[in-house]
A and B are shown apart, each in its own frame.
Chain A
């Protein structure tokens, strides 16, 4: 057990585990110390200088975010002097930050703006001077505005340490310091995989998703277009945070109602397409396991940031990748083929909008020619959860009191397996449920695979399939991938038995529930709650396995014939190629 230290904060005696920072300790006794750079999800960078506190007996001030509480300390977190210094520091930051809040992507949702309001700063104390740094929209998914950056370092931390991408770093020094890819290139030419974690952690509007709500409004108002929409699993358990719902509240049916009121002609669910993905992927797995034509392990490919990362950094893994498209692309292509045909709609008129927890999906929709398999761009626009929240507010719909509605057939009803895609381990669990049936011909008694759930960075486990031990690994957060791939490479080089049969990777920590397009201030607690919402949805479903979904059966009977058929290969599968890490 960790040692306990006894100390006082603002006169309140408290006991905390050794190593607890003053900031955390203060929170445990209902004292909030303001900070701009510390994100509850990340280690302290100690950049902003706002969380300063006094310790009795020292004339120096301490940074609460990174100083551990020590035995016998007597901390003061608020007195006139401390508040005055904090105010000065905020005013200094404001003097080097554009004040066009009204036209900023983070207006009303900005940590700096909030702090400024809390401190009642209404006048410019120090004359403003701005750094002449251009906006960078080159990724087409996230927009970097270094002028608005307060150099808290969160994005650099997630990009380098959590994601191991190293697209962003600090460049130059002193007042010229800014965040940028190294070597004066644009983000689009850098190793950036568009996971968007930087935008999800940024306290200001320095990194935001590319806002495409305007294009969606235009499409909705356009008479010639038949607008359809799909929502990803992870969106339903996170959107509520923007409207005061409790953490992890599942708002699937309210979302259906909402999207219909926004003007969409048909409301689909990406979870249905996830069931399709499972049919294809489980068949691929069965084929690899039994025929041995293609090598094991099979690695999942539904995360576009992971696909981009693999193509850039690990092209030797291409042969292990499932060729199956991601659910949202599958739904896109099916809406413009199967659905269009059944309902006699001209696919040229269908405008497919996807609501995703993800910024990389904006990249995926034009990733390769195969994303135009229907003869048209399969998904026309991909919005993040945050963009949808804005659209709801723009439309003036009272989301909190909306009645529940159902989704539109035939691309809506999903099995429990489809919805857990949104949590790390979910794809693996869903695939195992169906693969078990494909390989053994039997149905599982208990469908839950608890070993693949949870937030451990790499989850390794074994399951028994027809007497055969299947070794699996689930990794989330790109920084955790190296461990898994390293083991595969080592076995390959030594000609030994592969360490795994099946591997799932999601780029973001926690999987899609922690996606780069989700509402701000994600923490592990929030990730757990969101995932819990999805597992509850699965639990509540009568049909838990993708192959049991009657609409899936109908899809194959009426349209695709069988998994991995020529038609399925044409419409639902893709190819990968190595891509240069730097495009310059």
Chain B
């Protein structure tokens, strides 16, 4: 096996830029060859490096230096300075500043996820060894209690308690399920862990199984994550070969094995009872709780369902100790949380931060502020079940309880940054639309309530809103929160409620003045020709699908407001910025 002194991870950008990357890749290989470094430097193309909109990105390991926006001309400098001399190039380097702390993502991008030796090389499966050979299930649960780890899937239920409940039930068979049905729009932390460090999730799962006395486990991974599935499957096989899964794990009396099940793309199947139904081959709809899965779960047996990120924390906890883990975080929320930061932000991507960090630190110190340079308007957290947090609360320490107090939730860790150009009514409509689309249809408050609310929002963004609509939204939302069967329905109204709470004025602007302050809602826009700027080219008239722009090249053009369908074509095609949008 070749031993490389350096490994370079190179990120494929999106399809349109693929050729450029490949050029860079071949050029890089060629230059290495010319410097006789091919034997010493390994270049690996990766699908995701956690940095976006930064052109070609490379990461040089083990130095852990990241360069972004690279051009072919940068290659000689990189080889000469960084690879040969080990010195960083300040102008190229993408610095991730701020308080980041990598526990969940500790190995992502550092090791080859398809090589179990790499994982073992960074103390992988050492925690399992300690647990199996030196500990007892009771002590394991005790240690988890000390760690204070809470479920990272959304609700934040203490993990040790789930385990304890399942442990307490006597049954001939118990199950551990890893919930990898990550479905929030824009969230991909679970995928990154499954793809980048599959063994840590498997190790966490075996420890969970030991604690509750399970002999069988399932990975429930959405089918849209083919690479994650492939890597988990490879990791399971390798772990089996190494005696880490199967009978008498590491020579102990403990037996445990896992299987992979694919989710067919229903968001609601991330809800634990629907997930169980799906694994059992039934229609993926939630059922009433209690009984909770830890009492009566898969095939009617006690079942613990932990999310990918939760499980990835567990080996770390047993390597370093629960007390050590609990040092990071706040009084009620321990450890770190991975966020997928997207939207109008300069450095979008995954960040892992200790609980208790403020939103301001995440947005400004780590992610570099808004991409547009405009004023930050709000931060959306928690995905479709979450809410928006307006700029004035940026200094709130992020933990489960604080977010909830602000009308949002931690959720699985989606975080969308919005600036002045974002319309909050539109954002609420987007998230609600997602939940309406993904509602399983079983219970009426969610099924019909969601649809009715969406219809109200559509009305408002089309200029047909009535002032009573705000009360109607609140009323339906309250019924959905209280009377829906599962968390999807109970929280589906959160994006609407929180935007109504903090941005009522913006709603009223839509309803009363029929205006969208951020010009997002196309039906509310009015287009006008700025006669001073108009060159009378006639392009707008040509593109207008409604025949709303009469006139001629001699006389000039005007937009007939009563015929305009607000499609925005004229605005888009005008080369002289002679059309105003209000």
Interface residues of chain A, those whose CB is within 8 Å of chain B, are 44-50, 52, 60-61, 63, 66-68, 85-86, 88-89, 92-93, 95-96, 125-127, 129, 150-151, 153, 169-170, 172-177
- Within 8 Å by CB of A63, from B441, B448, B485, lies B485
Contacts between the two chains (Cβ within 8 Å), count: 107
- Cα A95 to Cα B455 in complex, Å, equals 12
* Chain B residues, CB < 8 A from A66: 288
- Cα A566 to Cα B484 in complex, Å, equals 65
Q: Which residue of B lies closest to A61 (CB)?
A: B482
Residues A88 and B442 in contact, CB atoms below 8 Å apart = no
- Within 8 Å by CB of B452, from A50, A126, A172, lies A126
- Within 8 Å by CB of B287, from A46, A60, A127, lies A46
Q: Which of B56-64, B361-369, B420-428, B471-479 participates in binding chain A?
A: B471-479
Pairs A–B under 8 Å by Cβ, sample size 30: A44-B288, A45-B442, A46-B442, A46-B443, A47-B444, A48-B443, A49-B443, A49-B483, A61-B483, A63-B485, A67-B288, A67-B290, A68-B290, A85-B478, A85-B483, A88-B475, A89-B444, A89-B445, A92-B445, A95-B448, A96-B448, A125-B472, A126-B452, A126-B472, A126-B476, A129-B451, A150-B444, A151-B442, A170-B442, A174-B439
- Cα A52 to Cα B483 in complex, Å, equals 6
Query: Closest CB of chain A to B483's CB: distance in Å?
Result: 4
Residues A177 and B288 in contact, CB atoms below 8 Å apart = no
* Chain A residues, CB < 8 A from B479: 49, 85, 88-89, 92
Contact with A along B465-503 (1 / 0, CB 8 A): 000000010011011001111000010000000000000
- Cα A175 to Cα B439 in complex, Å, equals 8
Given contacts A46-B288, A49-B485, A61-B483, contact A175 B451 (CB under 8 A): yes
Residues A151 and B447 in contact, CB atoms below 8 Å apart = yes
- Cα A150 to Cα B442 in complex, Å, equals 10
* Chain A residues, CB < 8 A from B455: 127, 129
- Cα A289 to Cα B129 in complex, Å, equals 70
Query: Closest CB of chain B to A64's CB: distance in Å?
Result: 11
B437 CB–A CB distance under 8 Å = yes
Interface residues of chain B, those whose CB is within 8 Å of chain A, are 266, 268, 283, 285, 287-288, 290, 436-445, 447-452, 455, 472, 475-476, 478-479, 482-485, 490
Given contacts A88-B476, A92-B476, A173-B266, contact A151 B441 (CB under 8 A): yes
* Chain B residues, CB < 8 A from A170: 283, 285, 441-442
Query: Closest CB of chain B to A35's CB: distance in Å?
Result: 12
- Cα A89 to Cα B447 in complex, Å, equals 11
Query: Closest CB of chain B to A207's CB: distance in Å?
Result: 18
Residues B444 and A48 in contact, CB atoms below 8 Å apart = yes
Residues B444 and A173 in contact, CB atoms below 8 Å apart = no
- Cα A150 to Cα B441 in complex, Å, equals 10
* Chain B residues, CB < 8 A from A126: 452, 472, 476
Residues A92 and B444 in contact, CB atoms below 8 Å apart = yes
Residues B440 and A173 in contact, CB atoms below 8 Å apart = yes
- Cα A126 to Cα B451 in complex, Å, equals 11
Query: Closest CB of chain B to A178's CB: distance in Å?
Result: 9
- Cα A95 to Cα B449 in complex, Å, equals 10
- Cα A93 to Cα B472 in complex, Å, equals 15
- Cα A531 to Cα B445 in complex, Å, equals 40
* Chain A residues, CB < 8 A from B288: 44, 46, 63, 66-67
Residues B483 and A89 in contact, CB atoms below 8 Å apart = yes
Q: Which residue of A lies closest to B482 (CB)?
A: A61
* Chain B residues, CB < 8 A from A52: 482-483
- Cα A89 to Cα B448 in complex, Å, equals 9
Q: Which residue of B lies closest to A153 (CB)?
A: B442
Residues A93 and B448 in contact, CB atoms below 8 Å apart = yes
* Chain B residues, CB < 8 A from A150: 444
Residues A49 and B484 in contact, CB atoms below 8 Å apart = yes
Q: Which residue of A lies closest to B454 (CB)?
A: A175
Q: Which residue of A lies closest to B486 (CB)?
A: A46
* Chain B residues, CB < 8 A from A60: 482, 490
Query: Closest CB of chain A to B209's CB: distance in Å?
Result: 29
Chain A CB count within 10 A is highest, among B448, B450, B485, for B448
Query: Closest CB of chain A to B460's CB: distance in Å?
Result: 14
Query: Closest CB of chain B to A199's CB: distance in Å?
Result: 21
- Cα A175 to Cα B442 in complex, Å, equals 9
Residues A172 and B441 in contact, CB atoms below 8 Å apart = yes
* Chain B residues, CB < 8 A from A92: 444-445, 448-449, 452, 476, 479
* Chain B residues, CB < 8 A from A93: 444, 448
* Chain B residues, CB < 8 A from A125: 472
Residues B478 and A175 in contact, CB atoms below 8 Å apart = no
Residues B452 and A95 in contact, CB atoms below 8 Å apart = yes
- Cα A52 to Cα B290 in complex, Å, equals 14
* Chain B residues, CB < 8 A from A45: 442
* Chain B residues, CB < 8 A from A67: 288, 290
Residues B440 and A174 in contact, CB atoms below 8 Å apart = yes
- Cα A195 to Cα B496 in complex, Å, equals 46
Q: Which residue of A lies closest to B438 (CB)?
A: A174
- Cα A96 to Cα B475 in complex, Å, equals 17
Query: Closest CB of chain A to B290's CB: distance in Å?
Result: 7
Query: Closest CB of chain B to A167's CB: distance in Å?
Result: 16
> What are the nearest 5 A-B pairs in CB distance?
A177-B441, A49-B483, A88-B479, A66-B288, A46-B288
Given contacts A85-B483, A92-B445, A126-B452, 19 further A-B contacts (CB under 8 A): A46-B288, A46-B443, A46-B485, A47-B443, A52-B483, A61-B483, A66-B288, A88-B479, A92-B452, A95-B452, A170-B283, A172-B441, A173-B440, A174-B447, A175-B439, A175-B451, A176-B441, A177-B440, A177-B447
Q: Which residue of B lies closest to A46 (CB)?
A: B288
* Chain B residues, CB < 8 A from A44: 288
Residues A174 and B452 in contact, CB atoms below 8 Å apart = no
- Cα A60 to Cα B481 in complex, Å, equals 9
Q: Which residue of B lies closest to A92 (CB)?
A: B448
* Chain A residues, CB < 8 A from B451: 96, 129, 174-175
Residues B478 and A88 in contact, CB atoms below 8 Å apart = yes
Chain B CB count within 10 A is highest, among A45, A47, A85, A173, for A173
Residues A151 and B482 in contact, CB atoms below 8 Å apart = no
* Chain A residues, CB < 8 A from B450: 175
* Chain A residues, CB < 8 A from B437: 174
- Cα A52 to Cα B451 in complex, Å, equals 21
Q: Which residue of B lies closest to A170 (CB)?
A: B283
Q: Which residue of A lies closest to B268 (CB)?
A: A173
- Cα A170 to Cα B277 in complex, Å, equals 14
* Chain A residues, CB < 8 A from B440: 173-174, 177
Q: Which residue of B lies closest to A86 (CB)?
A: B483
* Chain A residues, CB < 8 A from B436: 174-175
* Chain A residues, CB < 8 A from B476: 88, 92, 126
Query: Closest CB of chain A to B360's CB: distance in Å?
Result: 30
- Cα A151 to Cα B442 in complex, Å, equals 7
* Chain B residues, CB < 8 A from A86: 483
Chain B CB count within 10 A is highest, among A45, A93, A96, A126, for A126
Query: Closest CB of chain A to B497's CB: distance in Å?
Result: 15
* Chain A residues, CB < 8 A from B478: 85, 88
* Chain B residues, CB < 8 A from A177: 440-442, 447
Given contacts A92-B476, A129-B455, contact A151 B483 (CB under 8 A): no
Query: Closest CB of chain A to B4's CB: distance in Å?
Result: 50
Query: Closest CB of chain B to A71's CB: distance in Å?
Result: 13
- Cα A125 to Cα B485 in complex, Å, equals 23
- Cα A93 to Cα B443 in complex, Å, equals 10
- Cα A52 to Cα B481 in complex, Å, equals 12
Query: Closest CB of chain A to B457's CB: distance in Å?
Result: 13
Query: Closest CB of chain A to B464's CB: distance in Å?
Result: 11
- Cα A153 to Cα B442 in complex, Å, equals 8
Query: Closest CB of chain B to A176's CB: distance in Å?
Result: 7
Chain B CB count within 10 A is highest, among A48, A86, A129, A175, for A175
